[in-house]
Amino acid sequence: KQEVTQIPAALSVPEGENLVLNCSFTDSAIYNLQWFRQDPGKGLTSLLLIQSSQREQTSGRLNASLDKSSGRSTLYIAASQPGDSATYLCAVREYGNKLVFGAGTILRVKS
Amino acid sequence: DGGITQSPKYLFRKEGQNVTLSCEQNLNHDAMYWYRQDPGQGLRLIYYSQIVNDFQKGDIAEGYSVSREKKESFPLTVTSAQKNPTAFYLCASRKKLADYNEQFFGPGTRLTVL
């Protein structure tokens, strides 16, 4: 059974720092991996989608990498801002149409 | 505006009542999903539907029911058989041309049992 783990569970950094969020998964048989952002009491906003054949994707200050063979992905946030404060979730799409989610990393960027 | 809408935003239910959560999308997506989110946990799949008039159970379907009579609508009923229904419920959809497509989420419904 696929399991997705996100480390750390919570992170607090000063504004301007570069930071890395980690996601690991136990079964490498995936179609893709998706990173989401969730603000308190809100739905999920898709940040980046990496297909299993890709190594990384970039959008603005965000860069996500995927190492499928080792079951790892990282989300790199450059020059963090207070507006980046949110919960970040990663999810892998298994063969069979299911997205399996990690529990998330709660990020707080202090001004 | 294209997107996914969920209603109501907040819902209160007395024990023993059935309640229905609405999910509508105008993205022309084929597949729709219902997830449950509890504090400190990842999302868990309740039901999903890949085509009209067809749906499959997810990991935690007990105590829930769904219907998919129209492509744009996928309502979720939380029945009295669901023992611990207080949670945040999220609806999602995806264009299922292939399995590599991105999934999009609605704003959620918070259900509280009184």
Render each residue's pLDDT in chain A as its tens digit; 111 residues.
899 999 999 999 999 999 999 999 999 999 999 999 999 999 999 999 999 999 999 999 999 999 999 999 999 999 999 999 999 999 999 877 789 999 999 999 999
The type of residue at B4 is I
Provide the token pair at A43: 């739905």
Task: Grade residue B2 by pLDDT with cuts at 50, 70 and 90.
Answer: low
Q: Which of residues 47-76 of A touch B (CB under 8 A)?
A: 49, 51
Q: How far apart are the first and last CA of chain B?
A: 35
A99 contacts on B by Cβ (under 8 Å): 33, 43, 45, 103
Q: How far apart are the first and last CA of chain A?
A: 41
Q: How close B71 comes to chain A (CA, Å)?
A: 18
Distance of CA B3 to the CA centre of its chain: 15
Dump pLDDT digits (tens) for B28-53.
999 999 999 998 788 999 999 999 99
State how far the Cα of B96 lies from the Cα of B30, in Å rounded to an integer. Answer: 6
